[in-house]
Amino acid sequence: MNWQNVFPPELSSLAEHFSLEKVLIDRDATKLLICFLSDALVEEKEYLLIRKAFGKAFPGMRVSLRVCSPALADDFMRDVNAYVPFLTSCLVRYQPGVRPWLADASWRVEDGRLVVSICSEAAMQYVKHVDMDRKLVQLLQDVFRLQME
């Protein structure tokens, strides 16, 4: 089976940006992890369509999908603001309560660190309470393979 044929037809142009990194199957052949590298950022809607397509292609297995874009890491470091909508979307999916505060946040990379400035003390306490900094660090590792604080 050619993995590119599994992509939904409406995402066939996106498939050109993907390369298969690895596939892992558990011993019981009930779980499948598919890892791709992509030189294009994959938004949630696209990700869900791809995961659904692979789930249909492997019935009876629980399919997990990972898409990493390390090729975009340098661009991210140069122009973090171009990625703020994507990062905000991911963080809001994890914790919807941060949406109003992230809308007014400022983002910058400073000395190899990502700095997100939030305007109120209450917002800062909430973000710390829901462990958003840890989630953001993990997101940067998962998507760009960046080790940041």
**Per-residue three-class SS string for the chain:** CCHHHCCCHHHHHHHCCEEEEEEEECCCCCEEEEEEEECCCCCHHHHHHHHHHHHHHCCCCEEEEEEECHHHHHHHHHCHHHHHHHHHHHHHHHCHHHHHHHHCCEEEEECCEEEEECCCHHHHHHHHHCCHHHHHHHHHHHHHCCCCC
At 123, the pLDDT band (50, 70, 90 cuts) reads confident
pLDDT at 65: 95
Structure pTM?
0.86
At 121, the pLDDT band (50, 70, 90 cuts) reads confident
Tens digit of each residue's pLDDT (9 = 90 or more) over 68-117: 999 999 999 999 999 999 999 999 998 898 888 888 899 999 988 999 99
pLDDT at 112: 86
Question: 75 near 42, Cβ under 8 Å?
Answer: no
Average pLDDT over the chain reads: 92
pLDDT at 122: 86
pLDDT at 1: 67
pLDDT at 66: 95
Percentage of the chain beyond pLDDT 70 is: 99
Instruction: Please name the residue that has the structure tokens 């037809």.
Output: 9
